Amino acid sequence: MVKFQIKQKMHTPQGEQWLEVDIHLAQNDFVSFFGPSGAGKTTVLRVLAGLAMPQEGYIEVDGEIWLDSRRGINRSVQERKVGFVSQDNSLFPHMTIRQNLEYACRSKEDFNTVEEWMAVMGLKGLETQRPAQLSGGQKQRAALVRALLCKPQILLLDEPLSDLDALSRLTLQDEIIKIYQKTKLTTILVSHELPEVFKLSKKVFVIDNGRIIKSGTPQEVFVNSDLSGKFQFTGEILEIQKEGVLNILTLNIGNHITKVIASDEELVDLSVGSKIIVAAKAFNPIILKVKTT
Amino acid sequence: MFGVIQPLLLTFKLAFVVTVILFVIGLPLAYWISFSKSKFKYIVETLVTMPLVLPPTVIGFYLLIAFSPQYFLGHFLESAFGLRVVFSFTGLVIGSVIFSLPFMVNPIKAGLQGFSSTLIEASYCLGKSGRQTLFAVILPNIRPALFTGIVMAFAHTIGEFGVVLMIGGNIPGQTQLASTAIYSEVEALNYDTAGLYALVLVIISFMVLFTFYYLNRRVVKIF
């Protein structure tokens, strides 16, 4: 279980404001922090990791107190056992990928798992490459493995996929799911991408101006109407075409381009680039077996 | 012939010893100045940089007074340890270390201050201490700055005149360096010998700096 209360003064373009959060996470939770830039999401991660000191704070992870500002307890970043992956991957440029991974190992047992992780994450063959020679997706995969090799108690992902192209992002999302299923690590993801939040997290905290304004499952938080949807997908509007009395929307759903129709009423708050949920109410779809031979 | 070569040999011996000492002192000093939050660091930073603006004779004068056996420090060193600093090789080393300190510290400081803090934090998150991070992450990535500090300190020590003249006394065979030997030879109207020293210093300085610029570009290219 992870419990934390943080009170921290933030300097924003709008002036000084307080970040105040009080969050309890269950063991093995995968949660997301969602909200605009400057809302305080990254600050929370930095305080959890021990990279920033709050004015007041209490952090407890699996029964161990990492920070209690009232009692003067403050474990150093090295003692906290946090896996931290940032947007810029922070791989050491002078080291090869293998050296980067081995740098994270604390025991002989950790060294033995390097090969396994490289195989699982598709990094085989890249051992002797330096980070500058890798694609964005490969770098983030290596950064994820490096963060896991030091056997963290929690995994903090600070917009790790935001610099990647759509295809790499989808692949990495699958990799993160694979890692989560393998390690069952309590994970906190900071993301601006609604589809990513829906795909990866069990619970989402919407943070704005330093406060949690909403929390719950992504469906509870982002879907306002009570749909009895049997199928739901999140996506983005790429194009809106007027065809007589109807509108044809071209959508990007999970990197698949799909066209759906929409009425003028449904389009009132929507425009190209809007993030949407497409849900089909009760219906009887055609089900066919995929032939593999 | 040996008499002619000796000031040159002593010059390079001094430059080598001073560069090694400066590297050992300069690295932790630059690290402290770069990362400390102490208010005293601005005083230390100012003192380190002062030799760049002060006439060398000012530093030489103070060192001469400080280490003179007639005064406390010089008297203490001589009576307690039998160490005479003025007009000795030790005095040359101390004077040159102080005078060339900014040439070692400032490039390393610039390298450290320009280094990505996210890489340092990444190393800390992997459980590594400040010292492990310094040697495994920071120093390999600021090699061009280290290289600049080493070469600049070495080259500047070769070219030093005022401080070494004051504290060394320009004693032939003991503390006479190539730069001060030129002065003596010109005073004695031995222009050929003075010209030889001058030419050697020009060639050596050119070679050191050329090698530095050539290699530094290659070091940078690796990244």
**Per residue in B97-108, pLDDT tens?**
999 999 999 999
Domain assignment of residue A174, given as a range: 2-221
Both A40 and A146 in a single domain?
yes
List, in order of start, the domains of chain B with CATH numbers: 2-222 (1.10.3720.10)
User: Are A162 and A244 part of one and the same domain?
Assistant: no
Find chain A residues with C-beta within 8 A of B118's C-beta: 86, 88, 90
Instruction: Report if residue A56 sits inside a domain.
Output: yes
Which amino acid type is present at position B158? I
pLDDT on residue B223: 44
A258 and A128 within one domain: no
Q: What is the mean pLDDT of residues A40-57?
A: 93
Report the gap between the CA of B145 and the closest CA in chain A (Å). 15
Say which of B121, B128, B223 has its CB closest to residue A94: B223
pLDDT band at B2 (very low <50, low <70, confident <90, very high): low
Here the tokens at position B149 are 């500090």
Residue A19 maps to a domain: yes
Quick check: B121 contacting A, CB < 8 Å? Answer: yes
> Which H, E and C letters describe chain B, residue by residue?
CHHHHHHHHHHHHHHHHHHHHHHHHHHHHHHHHHHCCCCHHHHHHHHHHHHHCCCHHHHHHHHHHHHCCCCHHHHHHHHHHCCCCCCCHHHHHHHHHHHHHHHHHHHHHHHHHCCCHHHHHHHHHCCCCHHHHHHHHHHHHCHHHHHHHHHHHHHHHHCCCHHHHHHHCCCCCCCCCHHHHHHHHHHCCCHHHHHHHHHHHHHHHHHHHHHHHHHHHHHHHHC
pLDDT digits (tens, 9 = 90+) for B121-140: 999 999 999 999 999 999 99
Q: Is residue A142 part of a domain?
A: yes
ipTM score assigned to the predicted complex: 0.78
What is the identity of the amino acid at B33?
I
Please tell me whether residues A111 and A196 are part of one structural domain: yes
| Domain containing residue A233: CATH number | 2.40.50.100
Q: In this structure, which amino acid lies at residue B70?
A: Q
A203 within some domain: yes
Q: Is residue A137 part of a domain?
A: yes
Q: Note whether A24 and A149 are same-domain residues.
A: yes
Same-domain pairing of A8 and A134: yes
Given this model, what pLDDT does residue A271 score? 86
Q: According to the model, what pLDDT value does residue A107 have?
A: 85
Contact check, Cβ <8 Å, A84/B141: no
Identify the H or E element spanning A253.
Answer: strand A246-253
| Within-domain flag for A288 | no
Residues A168 and A233 in one domain: no
Who among A82, A88, A106 is closest to B118 (CB)?
A88
Q: How many domains does chain A have?
A: 2
- Tens of pLDDT, residue by residue over A164-192, are 887 888 888 988 998 899 889 999 999 98
* pLDDT confidence bin for B222, thresholds 50/70/90: very low
Residue A45, in any domain of the structure? yes
Same domain, A143 and A243: no
